[in-house]
Amino acid sequence: MSKRNVPKQDYISFTKEMKKDYKILVPMMLQMHFKILCGVLRNFGYDVELLETSGPHIAEEGLRHVHNDACYPAIIVIGQFIDAIKSGKYDPDKTALVFFQTGGGCRASNYVSLLRKALKKAGYPQVPVVALSFVGLEKHPGLSLSLPLIHKIVYAFLYADLLMLLVNQCRPYENTPGSAQELADKWTQTLADALTEKTFVSYKQVKDNYRAILRDFAALPRTLRPAARVGIVGEIFVKYSPLANNDLERFLVSEGAEPVVPGLLDFFMYTVYANVIDYQLYGLHPVKHKIFNLLFDFFNKKKNDLIEIIEEQGIFEPPAHFDHVINLTNGYIGVGTKMGEGWLLTAEMLELAEAGVENIVCTQPFGCLPNHICGKGMMRPIKERNPDVNIVAIDYDAGATKVNQENRLKLMLANAKKSNVHIKNQ
Amino acid sequence: MDQTYYLGIDIGSTTAKLVLARGRDDGTADVENVIYETYERHFSRVREKILDLLDALPLDGNVALSAAISGSAGLGLSQAIGVPFVQEVFATGEVVRMLAPDTSAVVELGGEDAKIIFFDGAMDERMNGTCAGGTGAFIDQMATLLNLSVGDMDTLSLEHTRIYPIASRCGVFAKTDIQPLLNQGANKADVAASIYQAVVNQTIAGLAQGRRIGRDKDGNPRKVLFLGGPLFFCRGLQERFVETLQLTRDETALFPAWGPYAVARGTALYAAKSLHRITLDELRAAIRHSLGERAVLDTLPPLFASEDDYRTFTKRHEKASVPTADIASYEGSAWLGIDCGSTTTKLVLISEDDALLYQYYASNQGNPVEIIRTELTKIYDLCGDRIAIRGSAVTGYGEELIRNAFGVDLGIVETIAHFTAAKHFMPEVDFILDIGGQDIKCFRIANGAIDSIMLNEACSSGCGSFLETFAKSMGFTAAEFAERGRFSTHPVNLGTRCTVFMNSSVKQSQKDGATPEDISAGLCISVVKNAIYKVIRVNSAEELGRHVVVQGGTFYNDCVLRAFERELGNEVIRPQIAGLMGAFGAALYARSHVSAEPGLLSPSALADFSHTSATTVCRRCTNHCRLTVNTFSGGRRYISGNRCERGAGAENADTTVPNLYEFKRNYLFGLQEQSRSGGRGTIGLPMALGMYELAVLWHKIFTELGYEVILSSPSRRSTYEKGQFSIPSDTACYPAKIMHGHIEELIERGVDTIFYPCLSYNIDEHQSANHYNCPVVAYYSELLHGNMDSLQKTDFFYPYLNLDSEKILTRTLGRALRAKGTNVTDREVKAAVRAGFTAYHAYMDAVRAEGQRALAYAREHGRRIMILAGRPYHIDPEIGHGIDGLAASLGFVVVSEDSVSELAQSPTLHVLNQWTYHARLYRAAMFAAGNPDVELVQLVSFGCGIDAITTDEVREILETRGKFYTQLKIDEITNLGAVKIRLRSLMGALDDRDAGEVTMGGADA
């Protein structure tokens, strides 16, 4: 591979100097995850701000600066950044943008490039864009994922996955509207404060925190009643971001349903696993795969521990073990399908079906390439072998209207109300 | 016990339906014998219409009833007045279970939604996705296009003799196919039936997704119920469905009289289940009360602040006018310009001092030939002996047809016509934007020549005619609708996407109570934003230049004009003859270019004029183009529908001129002859997606391993149709969707094994940061495996392989073969793989050598070179639509991106360069940039997400180095009219530029 003949892309590095007085903007994707994450980054000395802006003008700003056929998440995220920079709230000479990037054969690996192009077009070429990636595609001396930082981010996301799971399982039944979210917000703050640069994270403490969180949510006053459970899967950004999916979770709750949303950790495990598979299938990464194996085992253990603690309390429903999630794809799709959400998307639908969540919304940006295969392409075989499962594919796009999307969701819920309503047991 | 009443209200996107039913003893509603039902268009005045319909109910106001509401436009009303809502497909399911319990499937078409419900086995209810809109509304639009009422179109369709292939993805695409058919003189009955066929295909491809309608698992016929307005009223549509699904009318295909009311009846059933009680008077009062309320709408500032503001605006624009001269008294020479556009026909006659003697602008009503004959006769009568028509020119979609029909002297490409006209008003013009009925065209002018041309992609078209059809659907003429928009106080924000999306945005705003005024203004603003941000793609007005001329019929609409100026923050010139600019430009062009004896039909020849058209299929090559042969009086003929000159009767196709597309096709399909039987049975390679190019590798490997290799045939339209039943994602690209047909073909041919591997990575050419395939090319097998029933009985071999080295391929392929029980040794596989790579490299070398030969040939003969840059699979005759042949017939020597990419280095890119095929694109662009005689035209398949990344980058590589960038978006569309205009515009621009260089060179000397 040494003779690769490719000119380097030029980009502005985020230097150590910049760390001192630059404001770093982060786009919103998952509320709890990103709140804890930003808290952690602040604890590490970064002046971070999470963008919580919303409204149709964000997509419009994106459309102005990104090719309109680019995927909707790119349009939204870039629109949100440009909108923020243009708002006058931030000094463009003292602001940097952070983006999470996984790389891979999907066009999503070009978001950062598209953002840089858009910034240039909009007149802010000086703003550094940091693509945070565990693969380390670029050099940013002022903001790199050091081991202590990664370590804390992992716990941040584990906590957030748990909080998300609990909020979803409580919100439809809470006696005081908003109380589940309020409890989660309180925990978000506490947990973020505890993950500082200096502190050593004791895993025992983490597990204790899990238990304390579970206790708090179990004590939340709520009235159990029949509700249709609706799984949300799909392209990662549209699946999670309320800005991109027209507040899908809130809509489902308002219709009396319980949303079931797979956690973020699975996605990380999936990206790590892709490297393990590359070795198994093709013999790629002859040395590095050992590290990936270790990393995978590490994540796997963390997830299994979390599941165990949820089961130990016995009130809430835990997610499935990742090994099992992998096995679910047998006969449906190969685990070599690793672009976008790849085989994980198919597996998540199967995981939901197995857990009795028989209504599934498969979300994707309009024209999402991997989802032709892993989402829409797998719906037929899944339905054929799981006849009670009802899957609806919803495309999200700057031009798609809420009324069309909601009408299709209402159809799913109308059928759910008749057949597959889940009665919560205490 | 008192009689109970149940009221079902169904408010769709275009119509409202009401059903009143009695209660039955078992507590349900008697929806079999209803008391009253009614069906009317609501013209977007939803709540008023419901009040009208309620007034007509045969029931006293104080009678209590239970009501429920359904339908896509009904949600808002339901929320406003607190009456229960039921989802419409759900309601349909309920009523069918009650009235026709033995139904296996329901197909229901509404105004804008299409639905299928399967009852057999697991019940499955489906609605069309956001991209497949347009059913009832689509049929309305098409009828408007044919200038027929829906009823007349339906009657006519029953007389058809043939079906044209019309893109079935969505209304906009279909329109792009239909318009040229009309312009070329195709029979309206055939077009009407073809429109219905497109609706049928769309329903099957978009909704059935692999589940057979009207057959059980073993293929036995089952009952299908067809519901909804269009399927009840349109006999022709019924016929298309029955025939396509191979059903028997009244036995397995049922069209019940209650079809249009199915949802409303289901809603009445639902009402019976709810505990909600209300009297009719209370219901009316609640709706009346809700009329005044305005939901929170996303609105924009009004277009005109006041009447004064509007007057100042119109005064300013009146200045850009053309003097007229009286044709009844004028004596001297005159020149005729004709613009035969996609929806309108324009004629202009000018005097020696460019004054207008005669002008005509009207819809071409699907028959431009007849209109021009009438107009010409009129003009000759008015001219008498005083005026001599000294020259004529024609432009537009119908250019060739009209030129041949009437002996017009010159045919010029639209861009040149418009530029000529715009210069007349503003000699220093540097930007022209033309929004016509069907397209948006814009071009920048630099140094007195057209510098870059942008046309809207097929997907965002529907500009002018879109406003017009929308006006009609709301009960206005286009002019009235525009007028209304002026007085809007809160134009609704409708976003910037294609027609289908706008339709649903409008639906949403109606739900929220927007007025027709606000919708009109909002649509005008959307059309403008669409043009600026989607077609021209600018950030600010400065990028357009300071001297902007806008034209095209759509700019007659003051709201569009105002919205454009506002969006730009700049005043522009709209000539008073905005809609006639093409014709005016043609006339000016005729005046300066025709010197010989004019060829226009004389008055006497015109009197004897006749025109007939017939259709046939061209057999001169494998394209099998469907030709329309127009015959005119005097034996003149004009053939259209051909993709190359051979179809038009020219036999002079020069086979010595290199054409890389042809070369590659011959090479790849020539592999078949090298196949031989080797004792391991047959293996089929589907010639689609990544198999183009890699077929060389696999063919050799499997031949060496002792398989007889069978290639599927080059695609045709019928290949797609053969496989369309199993396509699960209708927004995937055409090159992927056609794969299903190739698989079906191989199964029919009885191969033992079908091979299409999963390849995350392509061949590593070391020219990019990584060497991925796109996700669709990489993993399409997984989708085929999950969705094609026919594959269940065939050995489908789709291992995950890697091409990085002989070693790694040997290992992965050997393992995969042994896993399926094939007895091969490592040694055998290793030798086969080595031979395979040798063959592959020989092929790539041959392609490059032929590229060199093509360049040398072009330079020796002084020809222009065109890099037709796409992916390997674009050489497929159906996917590439024969564009290579078209380019060759225009005089270009055609080379492919992979034949020249070795000749240049990739520049520093702004995007991540990580796909093997796309890396070639950037290098080919650099090669074009470095050679004055080489032009690059990029082929982009609709739905290719990755090209959303590459196109801007390729454009920048070319434009920053002073080259033109031309992009051709291709899909199922089979008509090449628009492509031809683009390529001819490119040629015109190149000629202009070259001419400019000559002058400049002369000045230097």
Domain boundaries, chain B: 5-100+264-291, 110-248, 332-426+584-607, 440-572, 610-641, 660-845, 854-1004
- CB-count exposure of residue B152 (10 Å: 0-12, 13-18, 19+): middle
**Cα B453–Cα B459–Cα B461 angle in degrees, nearest 5:** 65
Q: Within 10 Å of residue A45's Cβ, how many Cβ atoms?
A: 11
Identical fold for domains A17-145 and A226-263+319-426, yes or no, is yes
- Are B766 and A3 in contact (CB < 8 Å)? yes
Per the CB < 8 A criterion, the answer to whether A51 and A84 are in contact is yes
- Among A122, A336, A399, beta carbon nearest to B758: A336
**Residues written for chain A:** 426
The structural domains of chain A, with segments of one domain joined by +, span 17-145, 226-263+319-426
- Among B125, B504, B508, beta carbon nearest to A411: B125
Look at the domain A226-263+319-426 and name its fold.
Rossmann fold (3.40.50)
Per the CB < 8 A criterion, the answer to whether B548 and B568 are in contact is yes
pLDDT surpassing 60 at residue A421: no
Calculate mean pLDDT across residues A149-178.
94
Contacts of A106 in chain B (CB under 8 A): 775
Bridge partner list, B934:
B865
Within a 13 Å sphere around the CA of B22, how many CA atoms are in the beta-carbon half?
10
Closest CA to B983 of B238, B413, B495: B413
- Are B533 and A379 in contact (CB < 8 Å)? no
pLDDT greater at residue B178 or residue A329: A329
- Are A337 and B782 in contact (CB < 8 Å)? yes
Contacts of A395 in chain B (CB under 8 A): 129-131, 731
Contacts of A404 in chain B (CB under 8 A): 72, 130, 504, 507
- Are A71 and B915 in contact (CB < 8 Å)? no
Give the distance from residue A229's alpha carbon to the nearest chain B alpha carbon, in angstroms: 18
At residue B20, the pLDDT reads 94
Show the tokens assigned to B21.
């039913």
Choose the CATH number for B854-1004 among 3.90.320, 1.10.860, 1.10.8, 3.40.50. Answer: 3.40.50
**The domain B110-248: what is its CATH number?**
3.30.420.40
Architecture of domain B332-426+584-607: 2-Layer Sandwich (3.30)
pLDDT greater at residue A167 or residue A399: A167
At residue B643, the pLDDT reads 61
Least confident of A197-206, A416-425, B447-456, B628-637: A416-425
How far from the centroid of its chain's Cα atoms is residue B537's Cα?
20
Least confident of A138-152, A328-342, B800-814, B913-927: A138-152
CA distance linking residue B937 with residue B954, whole number of Å:
10
Architecture of domain B440-572: 2-Layer Sandwich (3.30)
Burial of B860-898, coded b for 16+ CB within 10 Å and e otherwise, reads eeebbbbbbbbbbbbbbbbbbbbbbbbbbbbebbbbbbb
Show the tokens assigned to B790.
């026919």
- List the single best residue of B75, B77, B87, B135 to mutate versus A (max A Cβ within 10 A): B87
- Are B800 and A334 in contact (CB < 8 Å)? yes
> What are the CB-based long-range contacts (under 8 Å, 24+) for B954-960?
B954/B869, B954/B921, B954/B922, B954/B925, B956/B910, B957/B907, B957/B922, B957/B925, B957/B926, B957/B929, B958/B925, B958/B928, B958/B929, B959/B452
**Does domain B5-100+264-291 fall into CATH 3.30.420.40?**
yes
Give the mean pLDDT per block of 10 residues along chain B (1005 residues): 84 89 88 90 82 90 91 84 91 92 91 83 72 67 81 94 75 68 80 90 77 79 91 92 91 92 94 87 91 69 89 89 89 94 87 93 79 93 92 89 90 88 89 79 76 62 68 83 88 70 70 82 85 68 79 88 87 88 94 83 88 78 72 81 58 72 96 93 96 96 97 92 84 93 96 96 89 94 93 94 94 94 94 97 97 96 95 94 90 95 90 89 96 94 86 90 86 70 81 60 32
- CB-count exposure of residue B381 (10 Å: 0-12, 13-18, 19+): exposed
Bridge partner list, B441:
B434, B455
Identical fold for domains B5-100+264-291 and B440-572, yes or no, is yes
Calculate mean pLDDT across residues A226-245.
93
- Are A404 and B906 in contact (CB < 8 Å)? no
- Among A7, A397, A413, beta carbon nearest to B906: A7
Contacts of B496 in chain A (CB under 8 A): 63, 68, 398-399
Per the CB < 8 A criterion, the answer to whether A129 and A116 are in contact is yes
ipTM, two decimals, is 0.93
At residue B870, the pLDDT reads 94
Contacts of B732 in chain A (CB under 8 A): 372
- Are A284 and B802 in contact (CB < 8 Å)? yes
At residue A121, the pLDDT reads 86
- Are A398 and B905 in contact (CB < 8 Å)? no
- Among A8, A369, A381, beta carbon nearest to B945: A369
- Among B539, B728, B912, beta carbon nearest to A376: B728
Look at the domain A17-145 and name its fold.
Rossmann fold (3.40.50)
